[in-house]
Amino acid sequence: MIILIYNDTMIKIMIKRDILQKLVTTGIIILLFATSSALAKTHAIKNTTAQKTQMLDDTTLEIIVEGNCAIIKNIGNADAINVKWELQLKCQPLLLISPGKQSGTFDKIEAGSEKIVCYNITGLIFGIGVLKLKATACADNARKARATGVIGFLLGYLLLVTFP
């Protein structure tokens, strides 16, 4: 039974349980299909573009986000020294519970090489919306590089993963 109140008048609507379940299921399916096209577009745009930043000594960092991992590349001609990285989950429109940021440091990333870091989910995640991984990295001799990639769609604690 659904009770609606309109202009101080209570209206009772009787809906069979199986019909109500079908309505709710249909609503969730429509929500998922509506967001899947936006996810695909965002995933294609965000994961194919990576921010590059150049310094005077020709050390350039580039980040590519793939799923829950980030590839930190040194595409410059000089070694990147003391590379600090950070990974953070973002959910739009709503992330209620998050395990927080994860960070670390590499002593050096040689010119032309790369390092891979992954976000390890160790706690509960709860929210509604597009779940993204935001990655940043900087070195003593290079500016900060940033990239964001889509992991999937978060519905409560259920994560629907997107594939490229």
Q: Is the pLDDT of residue 55 over 50?
A: no
User: Any long-range contacts for 57-62 (C-beta under 8 Å, 24+ apart)?
Assistant: 57/141, 59/111, 59/139, 59/141, 59/142, 60/142, 61/109, 61/137, 61/138, 61/139, 61/142, 61/143, 61/145, 62/145
Question: What is the band of 63 on the pLDDT scale with cuts at 50, 70, 90?
Answer: very high
Average pLDDT value for residue range 74-85: 93
110 vs 157, more confident? 110
State in words which class domain 12-161 has: mainly beta
- Residue 95: the pLDDT is 73
Detail the DSSP E strand segments found in 23-120.
52-54, 60-66, 69-74, 80-97, 102-109, 114-118
Q: Is the pLDDT of residue 18 over 70?
A: no
Q: Is the pLDDT of residue 99 over 70?
A: yes
85 vs 97, more confident? 85
pLDDT tens-place string over residues 26-35: 666 666 655 6
Q: Is the pLDDT of residue 70 over 90?
A: yes
- Residue 42: the pLDDT is 53
Average pLDDT value for residue range 105-127: 89
Domain ranges of the chain: 12-161
Coil, helix or strand for 8? coil
pLDDT tens-place string over residues 126-135: 888 888 899 9
Q: Is the pLDDT of residue 14 over 60?
A: no
- Residue 68: the pLDDT is 87
pTM over 0.85: no
